[in-house]
Structure 1
Amino acid sequence: MSETLPTAAPDRAADLPAQSPPVDPAETAAAGEKVAHGGATGRRLSWWSGDNGEGARRNLGLIGVLLVLVVIGAITRSDLYSNPDWVWDNTLTILKLASVVGVVTVGMTFVIIGGGIDLSVGAIVALAGVWCTTVATQNFGAGGMIFTALTVGLAVGIVNGVLISYGRLVPFIATLAMLVAARGLAAEISDKQTQISDNQFINGIASNSLLGIPLLVYILAAVVAAGWVLLNRTTFGRRTVAVGGNPEAARLAGINVKRHTLMLYGLSGLCCGIAAVMLTAQANSAQAAMANLYELDAIAAAIIGGTLLSGGRGTIIGSLLGVIIFSTITNLFAINGLSTEAQNMVKGGIIVAAVLVQQVQFRSFTQFLGRNRLTT
């Protein structure tokens, strides 16, 4: 008879998972706080170094350019910059010089972000200025003159928008034709003569100040503030970026691209109407040749400020800094007695450099996205 040996019971403790050591709640809280703090810092660094922070970085670069120009002025004309009163007055002069072009540039920035271009802004300013200074219009007082200038600017901008949106004309061709037509109409209305503004309220816009700051600067600040809110805090601004970035995608998303484009050119014309009143106040008169080459100044300032020529990107503050930079250069050349030709060559070089920088940045960004897609 065989004897059955007892078998050993299986060791069930070996099948159980090993218990982790006890966790200290204080260490857990400290680790969580560290992760949260690191995450917040990472988000801040990501915002600064990412594509969203490009506008802030560019604006700081433009402020640096302004500081360099001030240093150059202090070195070349130390006798003037050593006088604080002169420095303050000169700063106000630069801001007054930038005010009219700055208002036009706000409208131009919206148009370029929306994927268009407007070569007729200078002619619209001239037409609105001439129309609001006719004898018949001046009989209605300052209100009638301002209303006429704004209405003419808005109406011509809407005509541009209709030709481009519904007439399917290329913006370059449509606004170039409007440039010639508006200048011709302004010359016809004024009979090629300079029209004097007799309204003291209109003339006082350029000569009067509030708290030591000219009214023209307040108007520029108000237009810039309104443009910033419209672009960054409203649906209109988001749609402008969408239409300029990809019109077909914007259309598929439910945006009426044609109507929105018309509104952009109407906004540009309205800014030209405001600028016409300001320029008329500065000269106490209006003529068909006024605001010559303002379209180039506005486009150049927008490009310097970071507005992408192909549309879909741009900032109002950057455009304002671009206008102030050009005005500072003009002032710097004037106080040093340099020629206008040299000034124009410097401006041209700055425009070319800005476009080249935009192309390099855009190409680098697209290559970065391509590498990320391949890695993924």
Structure 2
Amino acid sequence: MTSEAAVPASTPVGRWNALRTTEIRNLGLVVVLIVLCVVGAATSENFLTTDNLRNILVSSSVIGVVTVGATFVIIGGGIDLSVGALVALASVWATTGATQSYGPVVMVLCAVLVGAGAGLVNGLLIAYGRLVPFIVTLAMLVSARGLAARMADNRTQIVEQNGIKELATSDVLGVPALVLVLAAVAVAGWVLLNRTTFGRRTFAIGGNAEAARLAGIDVRRTTALLYLLSGTTCGIAAVMIMARTTTGSSTHGNLYELDAIAAVIIGGTLLSGGRGTLVGSILGVLVFTTITNIFILNNLATETQNIAKGLIIVGAVLLQRRTGREGTG
């Protein structure tokens, strides 16, 4: 008899198997979150307080927005190591005295455009320059953070516009505005990935770029747009971190690339591309943020947090290897 894992993913049965695997994985992440909440409540009386739960959600919002863009890139078979540096560059550029003099709207537009522009440079070099994504985005990581430090003269720039500051302190129907921004970006990303031709092309390119090209998909244009999208989410995240810290700094977004990639992997997206979900990625962000919160409440060292995160990433990759054939056919 033919096993389910042997059914091609391109067939209706194969797609059903992949969908079922995704749902099981997402349900597993929900269970992990519940277990973490139980552990948190058992180890700290402050864990289940309203302020702490709010803090977890707000802390997840900035890296969550970055993770949305990273999910698209990885599903498309790429990688973006520059996301943290782009957040820093966008935050510095948007908080210069000249930019702030035009008001909060211009600051937001500046941050988004800087992130999108840098992302587009990545995409053009990768898609049309035929350079390796790892090398291009690594070079952008170094260059963008260096440019940010130079523009800020290695100093922290203070946000003076109240319109930006209020984003971090405002609530809408009791929900923090930053959390609503993440929700809006995640919903828009979900629709784009699952209900549009662009999303289907992203999966196709990640699964087999040559087959996608032969099917008539403009692989280079779609690839460039994926990195443009990733850069745009970095610009949005820059606005959010400016609001939270009331500063623009070349140190913003430090190690965001690792956190975003880790969340994407935990969420079930294959590093080789072709499979993944935004729901899983957001759940991955919540898992990491909750673990970090529990460690902080219990006064555990940062080194211990990093060791735990590393073990979780390795475990997630091992799980992918075990379930990969079931999900892809």
What TM-score do you get using the length of structure 2 for normalisation? Answer: 0.94
CA deviation digits over 1:114-146, x for unaligned, max 9?
000000000000000000000000011011100
Determine which of 62, 70, 73 is the counterpart of 2:29: 62
Counterparts of 1:314 and 1:89, CA distance in 2:
32
Determine which of 5, 27, 38 is the counterpart of 1:71: 38
Whether the 8 Å CA contact 1:47–1:53 is kept in 2: the answer is no
Counterparts of 1:98 and 1:365, CA distance in 2:
28
CA deviation digits over 1:36-61, x for unaligned, max 9?
xxxxxxxxxx7997222111111100
**What residue is the counterpart of 2:46 in the other structure?**
80
Give the unaligned 5+ runs of structure 2: 1-12
**What residue is the counterpart of 1:38 in the other structure?**
none
**What residue is the counterpart of 1:132 in the other structure?**
94
Determine which of 175, 178, 185 is the counterpart of 1:216: 178
Whether the 8 Å CA contact 2:127–2:223 is kept in 1: the answer is yes
Residues 1:97 and 2:22 are matched in the alignment: no
Task: Report the CA distance between 1:290 and its aligned residue.
Answer: 1.0
**What residue is the counterpart of 2:19 in the other structure?**
52
Q: Compared with structure 1, are the counterparts of its residues 333 and 256 closer, same or farther at alpha carbon in structure 2 (3 Å cutoff)? A: same
Residues 1:267 and 2:267 are matched in the alignment: no
Higher-Rg member (1/2): 1
Counterparts of 2:327 and 2:266, CA distance in 1:
19
User: 2:304 is aligned with what amino acid?
Assistant: A
Residues 1:316 and 2:278 are matched in the alignment: yes
Residues 1:150 and 2:115 are matched in the alignment: no
Q: Compared with structure 1, are the counterparts of its residues 362 and 212 closer, same or farther at alpha carbon in structure 2 (3 Å cutoff)? A: same
Counterparts of 1:316 and 1:177, CA distance in 2:
27
Equivalenced residue count is 317
User: Secondary structure in 2 aligned to 1:80?
Assistant: coil
**What residue is the counterpart of 2:243 in the other structure?**
281
Counterparts of 2:122 and 2:25, CA distance in 1:
31
CA deviation digits over 1:241-268, x for unaligned, max 9?
0000000010011100000000000000
What TM-score do you get using the length of structure 1 for normalisation? Answer: 0.82
Task: Report the CA distance between 1:74 and its aligned residue.
Answer: 1.6
Task: Report the CA distance between 1:112 and its aligned residue.
Answer: 0.1
Structure with larger RCO (C-alpha < 8 A, sep 6+)? 2
**What residue is the counterpart of 1:227 in the other structure?**
189
User: 1:358 is aligned with what amino acid?
Assistant: Q
Supply the RMSD in Å over aligned alpha carbons: 1.4
User: 1:276 is aligned with what amino acid?
Assistant: A
Determine which of 79, 86, 89 is the counterpart of 1:117: 79
User: 1:327 is aligned with what amino acid?
Assistant: T
Counterparts of 2:15 and 2:133, CA distance in 1:
35
Identical aligned residues as a percent? 60
Counterparts of 2:144 and 2:16, CA distance in 1:
45
